Chain A
Amino acid sequence: MILIYSLLYSVANLIGFSACLGIAYVLGKAVLHGDKQLLTSILGFMLLSIAFLLESIQFFLASYAFLSNISPFLEPFAPKYRPFWIGSLISYLLGYLLILTGYIIAYKEASSGLVSFLIIPQAIIGLLPLIISFLLAKKFNAPRIVILAFLMLALSHFVFTVYLMNPYGIELLVLALTRFLAAFLLMGIFWRL
């Protein structure tokens, strides 16, 4: 069964690879018509397609090794595949960052410079409390209230990112509610004493 799952993952990544390449190609047509700012998005989707392709190859090779009885199925994480993993991780990171930047550039006409500048840091900052809450849950067996507090903080940072992209919508209310809930949960630590 694990072999089928691995092949499925490989095929899924191949489809992702084709989709991202297709998107980059169509965006390229718009660049040819003069929309140079789309180059960032194109580069982002190309990097994402490379990441998908690397993971697809990785799991395909692992399936082959398993089928040919070359090695048991822990292959995707064997040291010899480290360059694949590092390559795909870097491609994912840069790819998503460039795609995000592309969207921000597209919307920045309607926003101030500072607003555009704040969007990416807010999104990245949001990842940190998410990692903290994950660690607290998995490694430290922390009380649920602390985990939830950090989760809410993460959520509020992500909502802040969305709010910066659309400062006139209901996002501010959602932001206020999530931050209020996060602060309330943090205060709850004292109430438990």
Chain B
Amino acid sequence: MRRKYRSHVGVLLDILRAIDEEGGANISRIMLKANLPYDRLKFYLEKLVKEGYIVTEQDDEGRIIYKLTEKGVKVLGELIFLKKFFESMGLPL
């Protein structure tokens, strides 16, 4: 069976979209929605925090929640456009 390919941009899009849809999400929720293993997701989340696309906050129960920054919302729009562009080019994202 053909393995589903996801590019770097595709992974970023899935993570940012998961956070955006929930209006802020914890790591388990993002793992589930973006379909990523913990280690790989942790790597991407650290990278996204470092680049200023997401920030961490604590909820009432003390859990870490990831939220999109203004820069993150902007880049999410760009990645959605890239996804459409890739699809129209026949490239997997």
CA distance A168 to B2 in the complex (A): 8
Asked whether B79 lies within 8 Å of A33 as measured between CB atoms, the reply is: yes
Q: Among the listed A29, A106, A166, A168, which residue makes an inter-chain contact with B5, where contact means beta carbons less than 8 Å apart?
A: A106
| Nearest CB on B from A179, distance (A) | 24
Write out the residue numbers on chain A whose beta carbons fall within 8 Å of the beta carbon of B92: 106-107
Closest to B13 in A: A33
How far does the Cβ of A133 sit from chain B's closest Cβ, in whole Å? 29
B50 in the interface, Cβ–Cβ < 8 Å?
no
Chain B CB within 8 A of A110 CB: yes
A34 at interface (Cβ–Cβ under 8 A)? yes
Confirm or deny: A103 has a beta carbon within 8 angstroms of a beta carbon on chain B. Answer: yes
Give A106 to B89 CA distance when docked, in angstroms: 12
**B-contact bits for A84-124, CB 8 A (1 contact / 0 none):** 00000000000000000001001101100000000000000
B interface vs A, CB < 8 Å? 1-3, 5, 7-9, 12, 75, 78-79, 82, 85-86, 89-92
Closest 4 CB pairs of A and B: A34-B8, A109-B5, A35-B8, A110-B2
